[in-house]
Amino acid sequence: MERKDIDRRDFIKSLGAIGGGSLLLSSLPQLHLLAQEREKQVKGQKARLAIIGTGSRGMYHINHLLQIPHAEVVALCDIYQPHLDNAAKVFPKAKQYKDYNQAIADPNVDGILIATPLHMHAPISIAGLKAGKHVFCEKSMARTVEQCKEMYDVYKESGKVLYIGIQRLFDPKYLKAIELIKNGTIGQIVGLRNFWYRNNDWRRPVPEPSLERQINWRLYKEYSGGLMTELAAHQLQMGTWVNHSLPDYITGFGDILFWKDGREVYDSVSVIYHYPNGLRMTFESIISNKHYGMDEQVLGHEGTLELAQGLLYMENPKPAPGIQQLINQIEHKVFDNISFAGPSWVPETASSVKGEPIMDHIQTHDGSNTTGATVDDGSLGLVSAYCSSVITGEPIQNLVEEAYYSSVLALLGNKAMEERAVIEFPEEYKIPYSFDA
């Protein structure tokens, strides 16, 4: 297959009339470049935002917003006073609210940014969109599949912009990897493996017992989908990016294996997504061993990509120069081999081949931080693009659809584990989306 790298200038040219009309972009445009172009376009203007939920992720965004010239934080909202106070230290002039409806109704607010526990994503997003405000909502989209669909339907009717916090779409190494997959570099895709391992209990300190469920909301099913909605939702985008379709069958097992501390959500999960073409995508997460960290691995017949590391391994790399082969053979004691049931085992040169970085300046992180990566993982670009969209009213193609499907896949994974069943993707939760784009 022909290999073709996207040239930056050609790409920018292909964007055409940015801001003027519709963008003829594929499902995965080079969004970080698009965001830069839109920033130029909105220079001198400000998106006036209300931040709803000023806990750890909310503060992460608040600190990013300080770096975004076209953002102005005019309102802060949280039900928990200590968190509201933290945010007010950064933006002392912003109005403070305890009730999100009041923050949404503030006439100075053009758009809201929601970083509350999962169960509040849908009610606040829907209230925001219905009130005519633009909405950025953290991932996952919502606590239930029904809420995801309702939120999507309200968004489509609203004419407003909706962003969901799936920052991999703004991380250049992911976009580069997808380009390599699309242009055939690793051949036919034969496996998708996602994993996220940590070694901590996921608990936060609680100042008094009555706040346990409010602060440790991640551990209780009423508010959280556990590892699937907190971690898997990011990685399950691989299915739409790589296999351009929806799974037909989903199954898996989940258990509370190690942290038996009264939590309700699994601390160990393995889920399999089966696609109609026979491909399977897996997600595994264990939070009592962190040895393997976090990655998304795309296995092709001709090569393998580790997306979070930005590394490419070819199945049959070009042979090393003769002298390197000789060194490898001596190092591997090829000449000392003993015959074993047939021809002697000869280590292949490929066994010592290191992955090739797929681009310069790859920023990686191990996924251990619960708030967000300490290096830029696309989150800044995503929020900056949202602020541009609040000013122009222009959405980003397929962003909501991508987030919808990764959230729904995460939630269906939970359903399969809870029912200990093989479940099918429900017809009524399919939305228009061009998988071929």
Ligand X SMILES: NC(=O)c1ccc[n+]([C@@H]2O[C@H](COP(=O)([O-])OP(=O)(O)OC[C@H]3O[C@@H](n4cnc5c(N)ncnc54)[C@H](O)[C@@H]3O)[C@@H](O)[C@H]2O)c1
Binding-site ranges for ligand X (CB under 6 A): 52-58, 77-80, 83, 100, 115-118, 120, 138-139, 165, 167, 217, 230, 371-372
- Cβ 124 to ligand X, closest distance in Å? 7
- Extended beta strands in 20-124, E state: 47-52, 71-77, 95-97, 111-114
Reading the block at residue 365, the tokens are: 């992180």
Minimum gap (Å) between residue 68 Cβ and ligand X: 17
Sign of the dihedral through C-alpha 422, 426, 429, 434: positive
Q: Which residues contact 240 (CB under 8 A, 6 or more apart)?
A: 27, 246, 402, 405, 406, 433, 435
Torsion of CA 356, 360, 366, 370, to 10 degrees: -150
State the amino acid at position 87 in one-letter form.
A
Cβ of residue 30: shortest distance to ligand X, in angstroms?
A: 20
Closer of 128 and 165 to ligand X (Cβ): 165
Angle at 329 between CA 326 and CA 331, to 5 degrees: 110
E strand or H helix that includes residue 295: strand 294-300
Q: Smaller CB distance to ligand X: residue 118 or 416?
A: 118
Dihedral sign, Cα of residue 360, residue 238, residue 436, residue 279: positive
Nearest distance, CB of residue 202 and ligand X, angstroms = 10
Position closest to ligand X via CB: 55
CB of 434 to ligand X, least distance (A): 25
- Report, in Å, the least distance between residue 227 CB and ligand X: 11
Q: CA-based angle 165:169:171, to the nearest 5?
A: 105
Of 56 and 392, the one with the shorter C-beta distance to ligand X is: 56
Q: Which is nearer to ligand X, 79 or 350 (CB)?
A: 79
Collapsing DSSP to helix, strand or coil, 78 comes out as: coil
What residues have CB less than 8 Å from 107, skipping those under 6 apart? none
Of 53 and 252, nearer to ligand X (C-beta) is: 53
Nearer to ligand X, 115 or 186 (CB): 115
Strand partners, 306: 297, 311
Nearer to ligand X, 108 or 371 (CB): 371
DSSP string, 104-151: HH-TT-SEEEE-S-GGGHHHHHHHHHHTT-EEEEPSSS-SSHHHHHHH
Hey, what amino acid is at 39? E
Is 226 or 303 the residue whose CB approaches ligand X more closely? 226
Residue 49: CB minimum distance to ligand X, A: 14
Tokens 């909405």 correspond to what residue? 135
In terms of CB distance, is 55 or 111 closer to ligand X? 55
| Shortest spacing between CB 84 and ligand X, in angstroms | 8
Exposure string of 156-173, with b = 16+ CB inside 10 Å and e = fewer, is eebebbbbbbbbbbbbbb
Closest approach of ligand X to the CB of residue 206, in Å: 11
